[in-house]
Chains A and B, each alone.
Chain A
Amino acid sequence: GAVVSQHPSWVICKSGTSVKIECRSLDFQATTMFWYRQFPKQSLMLMATSNEGSKATYEQGVEKDKFLINHASLTLSTLTVTSAHPEDSSFYICSARDYTSGNLYEQYFGPGTRLTVT
């Protein structure tokens, strides 16, 4: 149980276009989802915390107008990278917390989406 999926697993887009990444909790309800980005050989950097039905909380330095997050249901959160530039190329990972199962201490990670902007 506790599976998180991401789609797409990889995407290549042209500079200036927008890309949407989906994060789904497949077998549990996730009231909270987290979006991370990770550059090569670096650790995870939290971008924002997404709570179902409310606005996302962005970390300092993350542009909320560039990285649009929508958490419209208990099983789906989306991250849209708007007007993407080559410096946005990174590995984007979502995670979800399952409050109903009692596993309060664990975040379940999706497999990640590798974004390349040309």
Chain B
Amino acid sequence: GQNIDQPTEMTATEGAIVQINCTYQTSGFNGLFWYQQHAGEAPTFLSYNVLDGLEEKGRFSSFLSRSKGYSYLLLKELQMKDSASYLCAVRNAGNNRKLIWGLGTSLAVNP
């Protein structure tokens, strides 16, 4: 079967660093995505990894290890507005290349 696991909830302090982990077991792999979703809004794209290693984009970085089926999203210099749900998604290798979604990690940033 296909499975994506990420923690349900995390709490962090403003200005700190937080790492959100994601492990996956899928029948195929064609990239891993991280999306941010605020309550009542649609997801917004954060990052994409298809090769092993770290991708850095401002305060956000994402890491991938395909051999371990593992990724993490690193958020630095946390701000209150970073309080949101963070969704990990894996794109399969089929013809339709649909995304398989994790349940999301709800991050609360406290002052």
Contacts A42-B103, A44-B87 given; does A49 touch B96 at CB 8 Å: yes
- In this complex, the member of B33, B42, B43, B104 whose beta carbon has the largest number of chain A beta carbons within 10 angstroms is B42
Which A residues lie within 8 Å of B102 (CB)?
Answer: 43
Q: Is the interface of B mostly helix, strand, loop or mixed?
A: loop
Cβ B99 vs Cβ A105 within 8 A: no
Chain B binder among A11-19, A75-83, A109-117: A109-117
Most buried by B among A91, A106, A107, A110: A107
Instruction: Tell me, yes or no, whether B29 is within 8 Å of chain A by CB.
Output: no
A114 partner residues in chain B, CB cutoff 8 A:
40
Contacts A57-B96, A105-B50, A106-B48 known; A43 to B42 CB distance under 8 Å? no
**A10–chain B nearest beta-carbon distance, Å:** 10
Contact B96 A43 (CB under 8 A): no
Bound complex: CA of A43 vs CA of B5, how far in Å? 12
- Interchain CA distance A43-B104 in the complex, whole Å: 6
Q: How far is the CA of A116 from the CA of B1 in the complex (A)?
A: 33
- Whether B42 lies near A110 (C-beta < 8 A) is yes
Q: Which residues of B contact A111 (CB under 8 A)?
A: 41-42
Q: What is the distance, in angstroms, from A22's C-beta to the closest C-beta of chain B?
A: 15
A46 at the interface (CB under 8 A from B): yes
- B30, closest chain A residue (CB): A105
Q: Give the chain B neighbours of A109 by CB distance below 8 A.
A: 42-44
B interface residues with partner A (beta carbon < 8 Å): 31, 33, 40-45, 48, 50, 87, 91, 96, 98-99, 101-104, 106
In the complex, 29 of the A-B residue pairs with CB atoms within 8 angstroms, ordered by the A residue number, are A34-B98, A34-B99, A41-B106, A42-B103, A43-B101, A44-B43, A44-B87, A44-B101, A49-B96, A57-B96, A91-B40, A93-B43, A105-B33, A105-B48, A105-B50, A105-B91, A106-B33, A106-B45, A106-B48, A107-B45, A107-B99, A108-B45, A109-B42, A109-B43, A110-B42, A111-B41, A111-B42, A112-B41, A112-B42
